Structure 1
Amino acid sequence: MDGKCYKLLLIGGAVRLYFSSTSLPSLIGHRVEFATPLNSFKRIQEGVFLLQQGVDPYRGDLVHETPLLLKAISSILIHYAEWLPFLYILLDLCTAALLYSMSRTFVAQKLQQQRQERKDYAKDTEELQYSANDKYIIPELVLVAYLFNPLTILSCVALTSTVLSNLLLAMFLYTMIRRQLFISVALLAFETVRSLYPVVLIAPLLLLFARRSVSLGIGICLLFATCCLAVAGANYFVMNSWNFLDGTLGFIFYFRDLQPNIGLFWYFFTEMFEHFRTMFLITFQLNATVLYLVPLSIKLRKEPLLLATVLVSLTAVFRAYPSLGDVGFYLALLPLWRRCWKFMAHGFVVFTFFLITLSMMGALWHLWIYAGSANANFYFGATLAFCTGQIFLITDLLFAHVKREFCLYNGQKIMIDGEEARILLE
C-alpha cells in the first residue's frame, strides 16, 4: 500500500472515531436498519452477561451470536469496554485494507489474462480493456467506497457484528483470489456457522479451484463440511451444549423474530396465516440461497469473483435479517467492474431509489411507531422500494458484464445493412 492509501485509512478511522465520540452510537444502535436480532451490540452484551453468570444464553430468544465470539469478546467487554469502539474501528480498517489488496491482485490477474486473449479482441475495444493505471485506480476506488460509505461508517459506529462479518468476507475474498484454498474454506466455514447464507460462496471456490476436476470439487466440499463440523465442535466445547445451533442457524432459518428490518421476510410472515408459514419459509429461504446459484454459476463460470460479488449482493437483499452494513460491503466491490460501467444503464434510477428510500425509512418509522399516523405498510413500502433498487443494480451489473464480453470479441459497432445496430438483451 502506498502513502495515499495509508492517509485514506487514517482519515476513515478518524471519521469513525469522531462519530463514536458523539451521541450517534446510541441512536444508530437502536435503528432497525442497522441493528438486527443477529448483529445488535445490545444482544451481544446480554449474551456476555448471561455467560458470565453461568446461564446458557441460548435458552431464551435474545442471543444469536456464536459461543466462540461471545467468549472472545467477553473479557474485552468486561474489563476494557471503553476500548471497544477502537477495536471495531480497527477491524473495519482491516476490512478496507484487505479489499484494497484483493483488488490489486485481481486487476493484476486481469491484466495477465488480457495479454493472453488480446489477439482475439476487436479493434475498437480499448476502453473496455483493463489498463495499467487500473492497478492503482480500481483499488483506490474500492478503498474509498468502503471507508467513506455512510452505511459502513454507521454500522461500525453502532458496534454491530456486521463489522466482523464484513471482515471475514473480505478475508475470504482475499484468500480466494490469492488461491489459498484451505484458509478460504476455513474462513467460509466459520462465517457459515455464524450466519448460514455465506454457504453459497462455495460455488465460486469450486469454479476457481475445481472447474475441470470433479474429484477435486468433491474433495473441496468434504473439506468445507469438515471445517463446518470443526467450528461447530469448537463452539460446543465452549458451551458444552448444542443449544447454540438452534439459537443461531435455527433462529435464522425458522425466522422466529418478526422485528421489522430492511428485508422482505418480516412483513410477509407478520401478515400470513400460520398454516402457510412452512411453505413460505421454505420458499423464502430457497430464494435467499440456492435458487439463483446454479444459473449464475453456469453463466459466470469464468468469473468466480463476479459470481461471489453477485451472490453476496443477493444474500444481502434476500436474507432473513439484512442490515445496511451488508449493503455497504457489496457496494464497495462494484469498482472492481469499472470496465463494465459503460454499459450500466440504470445508474441514475438506482441512485434515486437509494437516496429517496433511505431518506424515507427514518421518517416513516417515526410516523408509524411514535406519531401513530402511519402503519406497517408505509415502512414496508420504503424497504420494498429499497430492495427493488438493489435488484436493479445487480441485474444492471450482470447485463453490463454480458454486453462487455460480447463487445470485446465482436466490437462495439455492429453494422447491419449499413446501419449501426443496437445490442439488446432479452
Structure 2
Amino acid sequence: MEEKTENGSKRKELGFWKWAMASVALRIILSFFSQNLNLSSRPEVSTPLTSLQRLSEGYWLKQLSMSPYSGSMFHGSPLLLSILGPVTTKNVLTGPCYMGGVTFYMPSDFSSAILIRATGRSLEMAHGRHLKSLGLGKLFEEILPSGDIAALVYLWNPFTIVSCVGFNTSPIENMFVILSLFGASTGIAPLAAFGWVIASHLSLYPLVLVIPVILLLGYGLDAPPNKLLSHFHVGDEISTDHVEYQSLKNKPVEETTSFSWKRVIAFFMWAFIWISYVLILCAISMKEYGGLAEMFKRTYGFILTVKDLSPNIGVLWYFFAEVFEYFRNFFLIVFHVNILFMILPLAIRLNHRPCFLAFVYLAISSILKSYPSVSYPSVSNS
C-alpha cells in the first residue's frame, strides 16, 4: 500500500510539472506573436498604472533629465523605472522591448503559481490535522491536492496568460500579493511584511490585506470555528457524547482561540523597516523631480482622484465621465469608502478563515478599484 501511495504521489508530482512547463511554453509561443495580437494596447489588459508603454515613456523622460511624471503618461512607482526601464530602451519610439518584458513577467507568473501551490499544501496539512484530531483521518486521505489544482488554474487562466503576453506590470503586483499571503500562512513575518509593503506600494489597494495577514500570523492557518467543533456530527462514527471525542475536541478549540502577538508585532516591525527602505529609495530616485510629495501626488493621488477617464473594464471611468463636476468629490468619497465599509464586517464573520477573507477582499478590490484590468480577478480566482 505504501509503495502504491508513493508511486501515485510521484505521478501526480510529475503531472503537475508537465502542465506547468506547458503553460510556460504557451506563453513563450504567444510572446512571438505579441505585436500581431496587440494586447498591450487593449484597455482590458493594460491600464494607466500598469502599461509598459507608459513606463517606457516615463523612463525616456527620466533619461532626458526630466520628471518621469511630466505630462499624464506615467503614474507608477519610480522603482519600476529602475528595474523595468532598461528593457524598454531598445524600442522606446515604437513600443516596449517585448522579449525583454517577458523575462520579467513569465518568472513572475511561475513564481506566483509555486507560491499558490505551497500555500495550498499548507492549508491541506492544516485541514488534515483538524480531521485527524476529530478521528476522521480517512477523510484526509481523500482530499484532492488543492494546492496543485489552484496553481494550475492560475497558470492556465486565460486572464493570467493575456496579462503576461500583454506586457504590463500586473503579474509583478500579483506575485507580491501572493508572496505576502504565503509568508503569513507559513508564519514568516519578514516575508509577509515585504510582500504586503511592495504590493501596497505598487497598487495601493492591497493595503486591505493587512487584516487577513494579521489573522494568519496570529491564529495560524484556517481552522474550524468553535461553534462547529462543539456541534460536530458525522453519522454514527462520532458523537458529542463520545468520551474520546470530548477529549479530542478541546485541542482544536485551544488552537483556534490562542493568538500569537509575537509574530504580529514582528510583522509590523518588519513592515516599518520595508516601508522605510522603499521610501528612501523612492526619495533618492525622485530627488531632482519633486521628491516624495510629487510621487504621492502622481501615483496614489492619481488612483484616488480618477483623473484618467479612458475606458476600462471598471465602472468608475464611465460614472465620472457622466457625473457633474460639482458632485465629483462626493462620489469619489462614496466609491472609495465603500471598500472600507466592508472590511470590518467581513473580518468579524470570516476571522476563522483568513485565506478566504483575503480572497473576498481581493475580489471586492478588483471590482471597485479605479483602474481594473483582467489580471486582478485571476489572483482571486486562484
Unpaired segments ≥5 residues, structure 1: 333-426
CA contact (8 A) 2:189 2:266 kept: no
1:326 alignment partner in structure 2: 376
Distance 1:90 1:220 in 2: 27
**Counterpart in the other structure of 1:45:** 56
Over the matched positions of the two proteins, sequence identity in percent amounts to 27
Of the three residues 293, 315, 334, the one matched with 1:264 is 315
Contact 1:107 1:130 in 2 (8 A): no
Q: Where does residue 386 of structure 1 map in the other structure?
A: none
Q: Deviations over 1:93-142 (max 9, x none)?
A: 111121112211121112113323x26x9xxxx9xx963343x5312211
Q: In the aligned structure 2, how far is the partner of 1:104 from the partner of 1:308?
A: 17
Whichever residue aligns with residue 273 of structure 1, its letter is: F
One-letter identity of the residue aligned with 1:157: V
Structure 1 residues 262-288: Cα deviation after superposition (integer angstroms, max 9, x where no partner): 112111111111111111111111123
Please name the residue that 1:140 is paired with: 148
| Alpha-carbon separation, structure 2, partners of 1:327 and 1:86 | 23
Q: Is the 8 A contact 1:19 1:25 kept in 2?
A: no
Aligned CA-pair RMSD: 2.4
Look up the equivalent residue of 2:349 and give its one-letter code.
K
Superposed displacement of residue 297, structure 1: 0.6
Conservation of the 8 A alpha-carbon contact between 2:121 and 2:145: no
Deviation string, structure 1 residues 7-53 (Cα, Å, up to 9, x no partner)? 11210011111111114665211111111111111111111111222
Are 1:190 and 2:198 counterparts? yes
Matched, 1:293 2:343: yes
Which digits, 9 at most, give the CA deviation of each residue in 1:290-327, with x for residues without a partner? 11110011111111111111111111111111111111
Partner of 1:29: 40
Aligned length: 322
Q: Which residue of 1 aligns with 2:214?
A: 206
| Matching of residue 153 in structure 1 with residue 161 in structure 2 | yes
2:367 match: secondary structure:
helix
C-alpha contact 1:35 1:323 (8 A) present in aligned 2: yes
The answer as to whether partners of 2:131 and 2:140 remain within 8 angstroms in 1 is no
Residue 179 of structure 1: how far off its partner (Å): 0.8
Deviations 1:389-424 (A, max 9, x none): xxxxxxxxxxxxxxxxxxxxxxxxxxxxxxxxxxxx
Cα separation, 2, equivalents of 1:111 and 1:253 = 43
Q: 1:279 to 1:26 in 2, by over 3 A?
A: same
Contact 1:41 1:160 in 2 (8 A): yes
Q: Is the 8 A contact 2:117 2:151 kept in 1?
A: yes
Q: Distance in 2 between matches of 1:218 and 1:272?
A: 44
Residue equivalent to 2:285: 238
Task: Find the partner of 1:254 among 296, 305, 312.
Answer: 305
Q: CA deviation at 1:259?
A: 1.2
- SS at structure 1 position matched to 2:362: helix
Counterpart of 1:298 in 2: which secondary structure? helix
| 2:212 is the counterpart of 1:162 | no
Distance 2:214 2:274 in 1: 16
Q: Does residue 67 of structure 2 align to residue 71 of structure 1? A: no
Amino acid at match of 1:325: S
- How many angstroms apart in 2 are the aligned matches of 1:216 and 1:4? 36
Name segments (4+ residues, structure 1) moved above 4 Å.
23-26, 213-223
Number of the residue aligned with 1:281: 332
What residue identity is the alignment partner of 1:137?
P
Q: Distance in 2 between matches of 1:215 and 1:92?
A: 32
Secondary structure of the corresponding residue to residue 29 of structure 1: helix
Q: 1:132 to 1:78 in 2, by over 3 A?
A: farther
In structure 2, the gaps of 5 or more residues are 1-11, 92-96, 220-258
SS at match of 1:169: helix
- Give the alignment of 1:55-134 within 5 angstroms: 55-78=66-89, 81=97, 82-116=99-133, 118=134, 131-134=140-143
TM norm structure 1: 0.70
Give the letter for the 2:147 counterpart. P
Distance in 2 (alpha carbons) for counterparts of 1:176 and 1:318: 25
Distance in 2 (CA, whole Å) between partners of 1:156 and 1:23 is 10
- Going from structure 1 to structure 2, the CA distance change for 1:216 and 1:18 (only over 3 Å counts) comes to closer
